[in-house]
Structures are given as C-alpha cells and as structure tokens.
C-alpha cells in the first residue's frame, strides 16, 4: 500500500503539469485578430507606446543592451552618447564645420590655448546645473590609462574651469585636427555623480541609471530593445530651437537582416541602418521605403573599404606589385554585381566624397589607377614578375610561386562575394589570389599580428578631417600588435611626419591642409600601402508609413544622415530626428 | 528501487561531468582570442592603451592562468553558482543574461514538446487502420517531420507574418509595450509566441503521429489483439490495450528526441528573433564569449538531464515490467 502511494505522487504531479500545460496551450488561436485594438487605445501610458509618437529603429545593436556607459563609445546602448549624454559640439559633414552644442562657442585664444564658452542654463536630468567643472572632470577622466581617450593627454597639458561658463584647455602641442575630432566625440558626464568612481567603474561600470543633459532618457530595456523617452525640459528646445519629434524611440536588436526587412515591410520599423541587399528594388517599387538618393548609390557614403596588403611580406613589399594589384581589381563589377549599385566605387585617393575639396586632381590624373588588366600585366612584367612555369599566374622574381590569400570575416556575405570577385579579376592579370573566410575573431587576431597576405577593412569612418584617414594609412611606429591603424605595416617616415604636420594645421586653413594632403596623396599613389575599393554606404532605409520628411538628396528634404549608429548622432543623426514629421499631418 | 535510481543518478552525474568539461573545452580550442577582439572593438588608437586594456581584461577573465588552473577555477565558480561575466555583453553577469532569456525558451519548449507528444500520439493512434485518415495523416506527417524546423519557421513567418500580417515576425512581445500584468500584455505575449510555438509543434507532431500509427498497427497484429478479438472483445477495448503498449516506445523516443527538440527550438528562436537562449548562443559563438556559452550550455545540459530523469520516473510508473525488475533486484 505504501509502495503504491509513493508511485502515485509523481503520476499526480505529471498529470497536473500536463493539465497546466494543455490549459495554457489550448488558447493560442484567439489573439490572432487582437493587435488592431492596441493603436486605438494609445495614450500617455508608457506601458503601451502610441505608434504615431514612437520611432522604431534598428541596425546598431545586435544583442541585449550591455551598458549605459558613455565612456564605452563602442558598445554602450544605442543613444547613450548623443541622446542621453551630449558632447560640446556637433559636426556638420555637409558644411564641414563644428556647431556649438553644450558649448556656445569655442576658439583658439593663442596657438596652444583653446577656450570654450558653455551655454547658460543647461541642467542635468536630475536638476543639477551643468557647469565648466563637469567638462574639466570629463576630460580629466582621460588621465586614467585604460580610458579610450587617454592619448589626448600626451599633448594636452591642462584643463581649467575659468568660471562656471568658461573652460580653458592648454596644450603642450596643438594637434588642431585631432582636437576638433575630440570636441564632438567626447561625452560630458556629471561630476557630482561620477566623482569618486574608480578606474574600473569608469571603464567597466554599466552606469545603470544614466543622468545626462540630453534630449532623451532611458525608459526601459530588455534583451532585444532599449526604449528612450523624450525629456520635455531639454535645454535645446529654447537654446537651439530644436525638438526631436518622436516622443519615444525604441531601438530593436534584430538578429538578422531578414528580420529587419520583414519588420520594415510590416511597417513595424521606421528606420533600418542594416545593409539590406536588394533594397534598391523596394525603393523603386511602391513599398513606402525611402533612401537618401532614389537612384544609385541610394545611400550617403560612410567609410571606405580598403584592400590592405601586408607590406612586410613578399611580393606585397614591392610598390610595383601593389600598383599592378590595384589595376587588376575590377571594382565596377563588385559595385554592380555584389552590391547591386548600393555602393560607389572609390576615388584612387580613397577620400570620401564629403572630402572632395582635399583631392588634388592633378596628382590623381598623373598617378591614379583604374581597372586595366593589360596595364597590370605590363606593370608586373616590367617589374620582373613573369609566368615562368606557364600556369597562367606570375611568379616571384626568384621564381618561387606567388599564391596569396585574401581574408574577410566568415558570414559577411557581401565581402565574401567581393573577395571572390577580386580573386577572379586578379586572375585575368595573372595574380593568384585565393579568398579565405576565417571567423571574425580569428581574423582580428591575424590582422593585429600581421599574419595575413591581403584583407579588406573599412573601420575608419567619416570624420571632420582626412587626417583620420592618413593616420590610418601611415601611423608609425609599427608595433608587434597593430590593432586599429596601419594594418599594412607600411613604414614611411616622411609620410608620417607629413601626417603629424597636417595635424598641426588649423582646421579653418583649407589651403594649408590641401598643400600637405596633396603631398600625402603623391606618396599614397606612388606606394599604394592600401588600395581603396569602394565607399560603403550609410545604410539607411526608412519607412514613410508613420514618419515623413526623411533626409533625401532631392527637394527641400533635410540633408543630414538618418542614422542611429554609435558616434553618428553627433554627425547629423540627431538633427535628422528634429526634422521628422508625423506622416498623418 | 534505490539501486535503480542510484545507478541512474550515477550515470547522470557522469554525463553532467563530461558534458560540462566538453563545454568548457570547446570554446577554448576555437581559433581566435576573445580579449583581442574585445579590445579591437574598443577602437583605441594608442598602442600603449591597447596593451593596458588587454592585460587588464586578460587578468579580469583569468585567461592569463594555465589551462588546468582555469579548469579548476571554472568548477569552483560553478559550484558557487557563479557563471562569470559575459565578454560580449560586458560587464553584465552571465547569470543575469540567462535569467532574462530562459522564461522565453521554456515557454516555447515545454508546451510544444508535451503538446506535440500528447496530440501526436492520440492522433496517430486514432488514424491507424482508418483508411481515409491513414492516407492523409501518413503523407502529411512525413512531410512535417522531414521539414527542418528553421525552414518551416521561415515559411510561417513569411506567410502569416509578412504576407497576411496576422502575426508579428520578431520579438517576445510588442516593441510598443512594457512588461506588466495587464490582460492586453498577456495577449500580446501569446500573439508573439504563437508562430514559434507552431513551427516547433508541427514538426514534432508529424514524427509522433507516424510513430504511434506504426506502433498501433504492429500491436493490433500481435497475438493478444487477435486473441481478444477472437473472444469477441469490442475493437475500442483492443485499441486501448494496443495504445498502452504502443506508448512505451514513444516515451523512450521522447527521451531520445529531447536534445533534437531543444536544438530545434534554438534555431526557431533565431528565425523569429524570439528573445530566448537560441539567439544568445548564436551570438556567444560569434563573439567567442566563453562564459556566456558555458552558461547557456550548462543550462541546456541540466534541462535535458532533468527532463530525462523525469521520463525515467514516469517509465517506472507506466511500465510494470520495470517495477517487477526492480523488485527482483531487491530480493
């Protein structure tokens, strides 16, 4: 009897469980017609955001929001910098000038002193006034060794608060170009909250309840989203006469481009900053989607994709070989075949279209290159690379085989196709290139150590100055690990000196910049340490179902970028939000 | 009885040990260095700063210690319930990441596994030897069970999500909502849950229905069925006996299938951007997030083992022969 009772217990438990489950599972059908009622019931209740006041975005975040720390400019939740925390200036890439943001104005009082005047009446979200002390504090955080802008203190001597509204920066060496970049890139954090945080907390803290000066605050988060709510007491409403139109912004982490595409078509998404292959067809068809241009390349340009040869290896150490390689790549085929015209072929200098005025056309016409297999063959022959064993591919000067591998991260399908295309067009010039697709992390490691032949990279984004591109190409000294710049490990002292000189040209001295940049372009095109391929787009697909007046090249539409990517809100992304209009109005 | 469960527990303990060890090893033998890519993402220009960050994170994650030490530390931390800090979602603790994801995964897997099993068995048993149903159930069942989860999921998402617009294609609940205890929110949860549930349910359903149908036909042809029908027993009664015998292999099948079902659920979650463990595992692999990967796998291993253990108990309950065997062992 006792035995039987013991056996009954799990049975009853299992029965209850099954009952509970079938009870829950039997109901899935009714809610099918439910969602329509939600829109109508919309009110100020933040548990149910009204569709006509909410902007849904995606394409920045690929997983749960990990932190709200503005120091972590590379992985903080969307909007941490730009919507919640703000910078002293914003940069307008079209007019190529800094616009005062937290700062009303800034100027060089002498060659090594920069003075910033802050706006009156700005308050932190907790009501405390924003003062010069916060600015001093934020820049001094960089004295900690692991803070990303630590290197600033190599040439910045001191930061002082002259009075509540004035900050004075004194430099040991004035790097004007880099300084402008810092002015619109560094978030200002509140001293009264951050004071006393250890280096570990500053760098690694999640900063769970961020208090910023910005136009939004975080409302909630979940594994696949962050929700931001507009602050109606934001200072910019009066001081800048600007107001971002969406009351709520929901940034969604979509796991794949297919999901993003599906949601765009369902009108559940207003702005996708994903690369969506084939979006050109949707823009042309009547799907309520817009992009910046309504014809190729559809998107603004955001960065340059470079073919990076490892210049410490044979035969890539020979400029003649690199030039032949450059002439053997059919970029047009990649632009049309792989991207369906969503990108633009790069100029031989690799400078983004926004920097056109710095391109020395004389240098380009004399030394530039274009796809020309016959010329590539001739360059190879002249330099002594001959096909001695008759397999259709040239050999090294000493007769050894040339077999190069081109690495791009596995899963980056557009780049994988491009690598195949490069391999095919190089073959016609007699260069043997095999595409190889390692895992992204493995690639990063090999790239840092210089353990590769060729790779594609596009990590440098549009900025205030071509200086950042030339730093990327020429920075010295070459270290054991090259993590962010000069992956080609190209050493040219003269070029690096010129880059440093360029850094010390004032940013309003266009002629002075042009003079140095023209010299740099000569070196670049003579030696081709990196080969520009195409300009990647500022991917932005917007739906006109709920919001209109998206940026566009045509008509009177705004000319800023529609983008939520990190570090792009200061480059016009925020201004775009202020120009939106509800589609219903 | 005690010996039976003692032996089972020992086997589960060994399986757990091996699974956890393998789970610790795999990410460490993948190519690439997680700290290197983490630092690379930081876009720090100055080499010295990069070195400082690198050294700091390497020691923070304990990756500078010899492998055997890392392995011991791992067990130590595990027993304290500490899964470490996620590298990808730095600095969120792995346990936090998992706890937000687990309810979604459980809410998908448990109902779909149990319901598909129950419904599939009933349906298969009912269809056996009934010409019209048999001619339809069999082919439909084969098509369903042969379908990869992912593919059916994509079809459902496209048809009901994009084309018809009846169901959302992403998320665990509407992007316009905040979790609360209102009826509207619960309905919204169900609304998002339906399609991923259906894709898991349908694929599994086909397999169970076919299995049951075949078993029933086999049982109906066995001697005891023939004998019963010769005695003039009603066919309902015969079918009931046949069902009771046929269900045993199906229970074993459930235990065997659990791993596959969990894997299917993970893939389905990715298709529907459902915020469960599936999307987490994918990202953890892509980002070489050792700690998150260990945490999620550990959770799955534990889940499957516990489920298997429950099935063992159920087996004892429903199959008198196991009990007889145990009694024999005791004597």
Cα–Cα distances (Å) from A513 to A12, A149, A355, A520, A526, in that order, read 82, 24, 12, 11, 20
**B217 in any annotated domain:** yes
Q: Does the pTM exceed 0.90? A: no
Kindly provide the ipTM of the predicted complex, given to two decimals: 0.73
Cβ atoms of A225 and A253 within 8 Å: the answer is yes
Cα gap A462→A487, rounded to integer Å: 19
Gap from B276 CA to chain A (nearest CA, Å): 9
- Per-residue pLDDT, averaged over B251-270, amounts to 84
Complete edge-to-edge strand list for the sheet that includes strand A113-118: A103-110, A113-118, A166-171, A156-163
Of A160-174, A442-456, B83-97, least confident by mean pLDDT is B83-97
Please indicate whether, in this complex, the C-beta atoms of B162 and A265 are within 8 angstroms of each other.
yes
Residue A198 above 80 pLDDT? yes
pLDDT top residue among B36 and A453: A453
Q: What is the pLDDT of residue A56?
A: 95
Dig out the tokens for B283 from the structure.
Answer: 């990202």
Give the architecture-level CATH label for domain A89-194. Answer: Alpha-Beta Complex (3.90)
CB-CB neighbors (< 8 A) of A481 in chain B? 47, 50-51
The 3-state secondary structure of B274-308 reads CCCHHHHHHHHHHCCCHHHHHHHHHHHHHHHHHHH
Gap from B190 CA to chain A (nearest CA, Å): 6
In three-state secondary structure terms, A536 is strand
Cα–Cα distances (Å) from A546 to A52, A204, A580, in that order, read 6, 38, 10
Task: Show Cβ contacts of residue A154 under 8 Å, excluding neighbours closer than 6 positions.
Answer: B46
B116: domain CATH number is: 1.10.3720.10
Dig out the tokens for A420 from the structure.
Answer: 């195949």
Nearest-by-Cβ selection for A262 from B90, B91, B169:
B169
CB-CB neighbors (< 8 A) of B188 in chain A? 31, 34-35, 38
Cβ atoms of B209 and B120 within 8 Å: the answer is yes
Q: Which of A230, A259, A257, A222 is nearest to A246 (CA)?
A: A230
Whole domain around residue B110: which residue ranges? 89-297
Mutate one of A7, A11, A268, A407 to test the B interface: name it (highest B CB count within 10 A): A268
CATH number corresponding to A301-537: 3.10.105.10
Angle at A43 between CA A42 and CA A45, to 5 degrees: 110
Pairing assessment for the beta strands A454-457 and A404-407 based on DSSP bridges: parallel
Q: Which of A498, A414, A485 is nearest to A447 (CA)?
A: A485
Cβ atoms of B293 and B87 within 8 Å: the answer is no
Gap from B98 CA to chain A (nearest CA, Å): 10
Residue B80 above 80 pLDDT? yes
In three-state secondary structure terms, A483 is coil
Residue-wise pLDDT for B81-105, tens only, equals 788 888 888 778 888 888 888 889 9
Dig out the tokens for A554 from the structure.
Answer: 């045509």
Q: What is the pLDDT of residue A39?
A: 37
pLDDT top residue among A17 and B126: B126
Q: What is the pLDDT of residue A256?
A: 77
Q: Which of B179, B187, B303, B308 is nearest to B251 (CA)?
A: B308
Please indicate whether, in this complex, the C-beta atoms of B161 and A266 are within 8 angstroms of each other.
yes
- Per-residue pLDDT, averaged over B151-170, amounts to 86
Cα gap B256→B249, rounded to integer Å: 10
- Per-residue pLDDT, averaged over A13-33, amounts to 35
Confidence of residue A46 (pLDDT cuts 50, 70, 90): low
**B139 in any annotated domain:** yes
CATH number corresponding to A1-63+214-299+539-585: 3.40.190.10
Q: Which of A443, A518, A530 is nearest to A486 (CA)?
A: A530
Q: What is the pLDDT of residue B42?
A: 66
Please indicate whether, in this complex, the C-beta atoms of B44 and A483 are within 8 angstroms of each other.
yes
Please indicate whether, in this complex, the C-beta atoms of A222 and B275 are within 8 angstroms of each other.
yes
Q: What is the pLDDT of residue B2?
A: 77
pLDDT top residue among A183 and B176: A183
Confidence of residue A255 (pLDDT cuts 50, 70, 90): confident
Please indicate whether, in this complex, the C-beta atoms of A145 and B49 are within 8 angstroms of each other.
yes
Cα gap A257→A273, rounded to integer Å: 10
Nearest-by-Cβ selection for A66 from B45, B89, B190:
B89
In three-state secondary structure terms, A365 is helix
The 3-state secondary structure of B196-230 reads HHHHHHHHHHHHHHHHHHHHHHHHHCCHHHHHHHH
**Total domain count, chain B:** 1
Peptide bond into A477 cis (omega under 30): yes
**B160 in any annotated domain:** yes
Q: What is the pLDDT of residue A241?
A: 93
Locate the domains of chain A by residue range: 1-63+214-299+539-585, 89-194, 301-537
Residue-wise pLDDT for B136-149, tens only, equals 878 888 888 888 88
**B48 in any annotated domain:** no
**B53 in any annotated domain:** no
Mutate one of B35, B45, B151 to test the A interface: name it (highest A CB count within 10 A): B45
Dig out the tokens for A393 from the structure.
Answer: 């591919």
Q: What is the pLDDT of residue B328?
A: 55
């Amino acid at each position: 009897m006792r035995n039987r009772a013991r056996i009954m217990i799990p049975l009853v438990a299992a029965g209850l469980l099954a009952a509970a489950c079938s009870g829950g599972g039997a109901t899935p059908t009714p809610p099918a017609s439910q969602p329509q009622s939600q829109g109508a019931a919309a009110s100020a209740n933040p548990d149910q955001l009204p569709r006509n006041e909410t902007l849904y975005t995606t394409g920045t975040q690929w997983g749960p929001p990990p932190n709200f720390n503005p120091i972590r400019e590379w992985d903080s939740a969307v909007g941490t910098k730009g919507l919640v925390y703000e910078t002293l200036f914003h940069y307008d890439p079209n007019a190529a000038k800094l616009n005062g943001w937290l700062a009303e104005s800034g100027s060089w009082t002498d060659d090594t002193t920069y003075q910033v005047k802050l706006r009156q009446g700005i308050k932190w979200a907790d009501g405390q006034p924003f003062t010069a002390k916060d600015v001093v504090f934020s820049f001094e955080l960089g004295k900690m060794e692991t803070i990303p802008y630590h290197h600033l203190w190599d040439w910045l001597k001191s930061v002082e608060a002259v009075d509540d509204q004035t900050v004075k920066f004194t430099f040991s060496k004035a790097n004007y170009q880099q300084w402008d970049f810092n002015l619109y890139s560094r978030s200002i954090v509140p001293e009264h909250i951050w004071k006393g945080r250890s280096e570990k907390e500053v760098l690694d803290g999640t900063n769970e309840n961020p208090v910023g000066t910005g136009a939004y605050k975080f409302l909630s988060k979940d594994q696949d989203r962050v929700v931001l709510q507009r602050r109606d007491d934001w200072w910019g409403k009066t001081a800048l006469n600007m107001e971002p139109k969406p009351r709520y912004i929901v940034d969604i982490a979509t796991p794949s481009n297919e999901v993003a595409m599906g949601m765009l078509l369902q009108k559940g998404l207003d702005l996708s900053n994903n690369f969506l292959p084939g979006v050109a067809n949707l823009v042309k068809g009547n799907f309520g989607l817009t992009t910046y241009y309504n014809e190729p390349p559809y998107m603004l340009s955001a960065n340059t994709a470079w073919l990076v040869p490892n210049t410490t290896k044979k035969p890539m150490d020979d400029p003649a070989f690199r030039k032949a390689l450059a002439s053997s790549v059919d970029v047009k085929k990649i632009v049309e075949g792989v991207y369906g015209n969503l990108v633009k072929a790069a100029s031989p200098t690799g400078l983004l279209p926004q920097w056109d005025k710095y391109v020395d056309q004389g240098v380009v016409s004399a030394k530039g290159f274009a796809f020309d297999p016959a010329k590539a063959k001739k360059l190879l022959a002249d330099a002594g690379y001959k096909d001695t064993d008759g397999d259709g591919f040239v050999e090294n000067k000493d007769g050894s085989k040339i077999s190069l591998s081109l690495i791009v991260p596995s899963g980056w399908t557009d780049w994988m196709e491009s690598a195949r295309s490069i391999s095919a067009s190089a073959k016609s010039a007699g260069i043997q290139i095999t595409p190889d697709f390692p895992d992204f992390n493995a690639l990063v490691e090999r790239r840092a150590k210089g353990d590769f032949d060729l790779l594609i990279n596009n990590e440098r984004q549009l900025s205030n100055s071509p200086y950042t591109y030339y730093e990327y190409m020429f920075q010295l000294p070459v270290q054991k690990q090259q993590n962010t710049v000069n992956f080609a490990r190209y050493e040219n002292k003269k070029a690096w000196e010129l880059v440093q000189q360029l850094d010390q040209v004032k940013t309003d001295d266009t002629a002075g910049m042009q003079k140095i940049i023209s010299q740099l372009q000569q070196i670049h095109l003579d030696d081709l340490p990196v080969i520009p391929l195409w300009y990647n787009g500022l991917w932005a697909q917007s739906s006109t179902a709920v919001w209109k007046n998206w940026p566009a090249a045509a008509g009177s539409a705004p000319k800023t970028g529609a983008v939520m990517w990190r570090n792009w809100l200061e480059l016009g992304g925020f201004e775009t939000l202020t120009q939106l209009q509800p589609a219903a109005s | 009885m005690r010996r039976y469960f003692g032996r089972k527990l020992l086997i589960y303990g060994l399986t757990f040990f091996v699974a956890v060890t393998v789970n610790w090893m795999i990410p460490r033998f993948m190519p690439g260095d997680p700290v290197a890519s983490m630092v690379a993402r930081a876009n720090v220009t100055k080499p010295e700063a990069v070195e400082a960050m690198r050294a700091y994170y390497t020691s923070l994650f304990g990756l500078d210690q010899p492998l055997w030490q890392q392995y011991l530390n791992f067990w130590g931390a595990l027993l304290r319930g500490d899964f470490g800090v996620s590298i990808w979602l730095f600095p969120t603790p792995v346990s936090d990441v998992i706890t937000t994801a687990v309810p979604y995964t459980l809410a998908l897997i448990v109902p779909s596994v149990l319901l598909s099993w129950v419904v599939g068995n009933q349906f298969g048993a009912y269809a056996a030897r009934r010409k019209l149903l048999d001619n339809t159930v069999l082919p439909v069942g084969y098509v369903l069970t042969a379908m990869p989860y992912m593919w059916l999921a994509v079809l459902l998402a496209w048809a009901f999500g994009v084309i018809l617009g009846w169901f959302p294609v992403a998320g665990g609940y509407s992007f316009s909502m905040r979790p609360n205890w209102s009826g509207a929110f619960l309905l919204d949860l169900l609304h998002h849950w339906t399609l991923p549930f259906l894709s898991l349910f349908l694929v599994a359903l086909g397999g169970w229905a076919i299995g049951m149908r075949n078993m029933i036909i086999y049982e109906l042809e066995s001697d005891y069925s023939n004998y019963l029908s010769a005695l003039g027993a009603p066919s309902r009664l015969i079918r009931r006996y046949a069902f009771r015998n046929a269900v045993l292999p199906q229970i074993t099948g459930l235990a065997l299938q659990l791993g596959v079902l969990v894997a299917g659920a993970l893939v389905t979650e990715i298709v529907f951007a459902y915020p469960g463990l599936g999307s987490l595992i994918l990202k953890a692999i892509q980002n070489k997030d050792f700690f998150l990967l260990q945490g999620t796998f550990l959770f799955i291993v534990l889940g499957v083992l516990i489920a298997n253990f429950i099935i063992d108990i159920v087996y004892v309950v429903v199959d008198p022969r196991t009990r007889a065997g145990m009694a024999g062992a005791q004597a």
